[in-house]
């Protein structure tokens, strides 16, 4: 991983920990809640370059895995977004948080997410909106080759939609959050939050962050199941235990009834 990429991640993670970043995450979690609360299945995966911000919320799926390209306390799987060491058709819901913006080949990342996702599984893509105020500022900052944001490659809504169609995804809800950043405190803060609420309620496509939900429509393929291990254990094990086989009974030996034994004994005595 390049030093420029590390600089972007440190700056972005620091921003998410500050007031505006926490405000954006609260908006994002509220937007994700209806999808995650009704999600079903066995496995949910959050993947992206950022650590420390799980987005699972109150999802009823119990097996939750957070993946990142760097190890961390909350990271259960260390991998690149374009090379996920999971079985095909194995994950029911994928949260891809900034997974397409910091890679040279975002289409390859989408293909890998499509491979891992189960048929009819949910894909939730989250990234910066290049046509928002924050997106414009980020692009201006990236014009300088010395800026760490020179390695940021935002994906437009139209291009993302084209790629998803090519991969046989059904496009569902598309939303934006963080149209108006919070400013100041007290009355001014409440006014900016009210304006942000109004923009979100009217689905104005000017939010700093986009959320695209898509459903995988490809039929399941019969692929050989490979053993997958995480920290020495299987990450996803869908095998159903088979009942034990009853032992084969031994061939029936001739049985002797008490009466027959008594008659033989009596005959021997008579002789």
CATH number for position 115 = 3.40.50.150
Tell me if 189 sits within 8 A of 183, measured CB to CB.
Answer: yes
Does residue 246 carry a pLDDT above 80? no
pLDDT confidence of residue 53? 86
pLDDT confidence of residue 143? 52
CA 40 to chain centre: 13
Q: Is residue 242 part of a domain?
A: no
- Alpha carbons 81 and 66: distance in angstroms, whole number: 12
- Alpha carbons 114 and 61: distance in angstroms, whole number: 19
Which of 73-82, 129-138, 142-151, 251-260 has the highest average model confidence (pLDDT)?
Answer: 73-82
Helices (H) and strands (E) in the chain, counts: 7, 9
Q: What is the CA radius of gyration of the chain?
A: 29
Report residue 83's pLDDT band, with 50, 70 and 90 as the boundaries: very high
pTM exceeds 0.75, yes or no: yes
pLDDT confidence of residue 101? 87
Does residue 80 carry a pLDDT above 60? yes
Question: How many structural domains is the chain composed of?
Answer: 1
Closest CA to 132 of 148, 149, 156, 151: 156
Q: Is residue 102 part of a domain?
A: yes
- Alpha carbons 73 and 76: distance in angstroms, whole number: 8
pLDDT tens profile 121-131: 999 999 989 88
Helix (H) / strand (E) containing 230: strand 229-230
**CB 79: neighbour CB atoms within 10 A?**
15
* Residues 171-178, mean pLDDT to the nearest whole number: 94
Q: Is residue 259 part of a domain?
A: no
Tell me if 172 sits within 8 A of 214, measured CB to CB.
Answer: yes
Q: Is residue 105 part of a domain?
A: yes
Angle (deg, nearest 10), helices 106-116 and 157-166 = 40
Report residue 232's pLDDT band, with 50, 70 and 90 as the boundaries: very low
Query: How far, in Å, are 47, 136, 160, 179 from residue 140 at the CA level?
Result: 27, 6, 22, 18
Which of 19-33, 150-164, 234-248 has the highest average model confidence (pLDDT)?
Answer: 19-33
User: What percent of the chain stands above pLDDT 70?
Assistant: 72
Does residue 7 carry a pLDDT above 50? yes
User: What percent of the chain stands above pLDDT 90?
Assistant: 54
* Residues 198-219, mean pLDDT to the nearest whole number: 91
pLDDT confidence of residue 166? 96
Q: Is residue 264 part of a domain?
A: no
pLDDT confidence of residue 231? 46
Report residue 226's pLDDT band, with 50, 70 and 90 as the boundaries: very low
Does residue 229 carry a pLDDT above 90? no
Does residue 263 carry a pLDDT above 70? no
Does residue 140 carry a pLDDT above 70? no
Lowest-confidence segment of 78-87, 88-97, 98-107, 212-221 by average pLDDT: 212-221
Q: Is residue 167 part of a domain?
A: yes
Report residue 218's pLDDT band, with 50, 70 and 90 as the boundaries: confident
Q: Is residue 271 part of a domain?
A: no
Range of the domain at 131: 1-216
pLDDT confidence of residue 156? 86
Q: Which residue has the higher pLDDT, 211 or 250?
A: 211
């Amino acid at each position: 991983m390049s030093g420029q990429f590390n600089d972007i991640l440190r700056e972005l993670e620091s921003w998410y920990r500050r007031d505006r970043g926490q405000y954006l995450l609260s908006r994002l979690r509220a937007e994700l809640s209806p999808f995650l609360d009704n999600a079903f299945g066995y496995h949910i995966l959050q993947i992206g370059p950022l650590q420390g911000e799980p987005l699972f919320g109150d999802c009823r799926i119990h097996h939750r895995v957070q993946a990142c390209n760097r190890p961390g306390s909350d990271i259960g799987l260390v991998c690149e977004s374009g090379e996920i060491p999971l079985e095909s058709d194995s994950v029911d819901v994928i949260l891809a948080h900034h997974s397409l913006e910091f890679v040279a080949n975002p289409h390859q990342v989408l293909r890998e997410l499509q491979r891992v996702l189960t048929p009819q599984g949910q894909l939730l893509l989250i990234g910066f909106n290049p046509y928002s105020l924050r997106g414009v500022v980020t692009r201006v900052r990236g014009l300088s080759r010395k800026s760490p944001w020179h390695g940021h490659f935002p994906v437009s809504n139209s291009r993302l939609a084209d790629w998803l169609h090519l991969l046989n995804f059904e496009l569902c809800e598309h939303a934006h959050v963080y149209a108006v950043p919070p400013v100041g405190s007290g009355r001014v803060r409440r006014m900016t939050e009210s304006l942000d609420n109004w923009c979100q309620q009217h689905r104005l496509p000017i939010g700093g962050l986009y959320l695209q939900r898509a459903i995988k429509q490809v039929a399941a393929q019969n692929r050989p199941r490979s053993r997958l291990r995480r920290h020495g254990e299987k990450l996803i094990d869908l095998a159903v235990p088979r009942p034990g086989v009853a032992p084969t009974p031994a061939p029936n030996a001739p049985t002797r009834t008490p009466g027959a034994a008594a008659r033989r004994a009596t005959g021997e005595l008579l002789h």
